[in-house]
Amino acid sequence: MFVEKEKIKGKVTRIIFVLILLMSICLAANAQSAGYIGSWRLMAFQGKNASVAAKDLGMSRVLVFGEDGKLQWLDDNNDDSYELEWTMQDGAAVFEENGQVFTCVLDGDTLKTTNPNYYGTMVFERESVVASVKMEERTDASGQWKYVLEGGGVTITGWVEEPSGGIILPGELDGVPVTGIGAKAFYDCMRLTGVTIPDSVTDIGSDAFDKCENLILGVKQGSYAEEYAVKNKIPYTNDLDCAYCARGIEYFDEGQYEEAFADFTKAIELSPNDAMHYYNRGSAYDSLEKYGEAILDYSKAIELKPDYELAFVSRGLMYFLEEQYEKSVADYTKAIQLNPTEATYVYVRGAARFCQQKYEEALMDFTRAIELNPGTALYYEYRGDVYKALGNEAAAAADWQKAKELGGGE
C-alpha cells in the first residue's frame, strides 16, 4: 500500500513533427531534386506552439519555429535566412510555396508528405537531444513546481521547495496537462519516500529519480510510469488510493477540509469498496457541517464493513446533531457492543436519551460513564441535570459540586 511511504527524450507532438518535416520539404524543393527530404534531429523545443529548433544533419542548416507562427531557416554561420508561414488544417500541417501545397502527416515515428511532386519519408530521432534553443522554464501558480511547455503538455523539470515524504504530482499545471518528468527533476531528493505519477505522463527522464534511495512510485497499472519503474528497477505500487488517502488526512489535520474532501473522493474513485475512504470523506463532510452527506458516507462505510466501530460512532453523532435521537441511540448502542468500555460512547447515548426525556435510561448511562471514567467532570454535570429533571435536588447538587471539584460545572 502506498501511503507516504536525461536527459529529456525529445517527446514531440504531432504538430511539431509535422512542422519540422514541412520545413525540410520546403528547403529540399529549393536545394535538390524532388524526393530529397533529409535527416533532421530535434535539438530543442519549447511550448505548445513555441520555439523549436531542428538541424539538417546533411546540410548543416537550422530551422527555428517561432511563437509568432513563422518558420526561419539559418545556416551554421547565420549569414543566410529563409522565412515562411504555416497553418494547421484537420490535424495536418499545410504549407504553400510557389503555388505548391504541401500537406504533412505523422505515421508512427515516420513523417510523410502527401504532395505528389515530393515524396519520401523521414524517421525522427528521439535520442541525443542537444539544447541549442533554450526552453523557458516556468514556475506554476502554486509556487512549487518548475516546468517547461512541450508539444501541448507540461514537463516537470524541478521544484522550488524540496519535496519530502509522499507526494502526488499534479495532473496539470496552470491548466496544461502534465505529460513528462524531466531529466534530474527529483535527483538526490533523499527525503522523498513516495511519488504518485498521473497516468497522463508518457515520458520520464532516465535519471529523473536518481539517488532517491527511499522512493516508491505510485503508478497506475499498465501505464507508461509502471513500465518506467520496471525498466529502471524502482520499487512501485498500483495502490494509488492510499496515496490520496494519506494526503487527504494531512489536509484534514491542517484544517483544509475542501482539499481533504477532494482527495478522499479521488481515493473512493480508485478503490470504491474501501470502507475507510468513505469514513474519511464523511469526516470531511462533518467538518464542513454537511451532516446529511456525512451520514450517507458513514452509512456506506458501515455497509462495506458492518463492524466499523468509528463509523457507528460518527454517524450516531451526526444523527444527534440532526436531532434524530432514536437513530443516534441505536448507533451508539452498536458502538458500545463493539467496545463496551469506552465511556464516551455511553455518555453520548445518555445525552441522546436525555434529549428524548428518557431520564431513567439517561441516568443509567451517565452513571455507567462515571464508573468507566470517574475523573470526567462533564459526566457528573449532566447526571446532575438528570437528577434535577427527576426531582432529586440533593443528588443533583452533589453531582454539580463534584463536577466543580474536577474543574467543570458553572
410 residues of the chain, pLDDT tens digit each = 333 223 222 332 333 333 333 444 333 333 322 222 333 333 333 333 333 334 333 433 444 444 444 544 444 444 444 455 655 566 555 656 566 666 655 444 334 445 544 333 332 333 333 333 346 789 999 999 999 988 789 999 999 999 988 899 999 999 999 999 998 999 999 999 899 999 999 999 878 999 998 899 999 999 999 999 999 999 999 999 989 998 999 899 999 999 999 999 999 999 999 999 999 999 999 999 999 999 999 999 999 999 999 999 999 999 999 999 999 999 999 999 999 999 999 999 999 999 999 999 999 999 999 999 999 999 999 999 999 999 999 999 999 999 999 987 55
Distance CA 95, CA 38 (A): 18
The count of other CB atoms within 10 Å of the CB of residue 156 is 25
Residue 52 near residue 133, CB atoms below 8 Å: yes
Which CA distances in Å does 223 have to 197, 230, 245?
10, 11, 21
Q: Strands 165-168 and 192-196, how do they pair?
A: parallel
Exposed / middle / buried, residue 209 (Cβ in 10 Å: 0-12, 13-18, 19+): buried
If phi > 0 it is left, if psi is from -120 to 50 it is alpha, else beta; for residue 234 that is: beta
Instruction: Output the pLDDT for position 33.
Output: 25
Query: pTM here?
Result: 0.61
Q: Please give the span between the terminal C-alpha atoms of the chain, in angstroms, as a whole number.
A: 50
Instruction: Output the pLDDT for position 263.
Output: 93
Residue 38 near residue 28, CB atoms below 8 Å: yes
Distance CA 262, CA 142 (A): 17
Residue 5 near residue 166, CB atoms below 8 Å: yes
C-alpha radius of gyration, the chain, whole number: 33
Distance CA 293, CA 301 (A): 13
Residue 151 near residue 45, CB atoms below 8 Å: yes
Residue 87 near residue 104, CB atoms below 8 Å: no
Residue 216 near residue 239, CB atoms below 8 Å: no
Instruction: Output the pLDDT for position 104.
Output: 54
Retrieve residue 383's grid coordinates.
447526571
Instruction: Output the pLDDT for position 150.
Output: 80
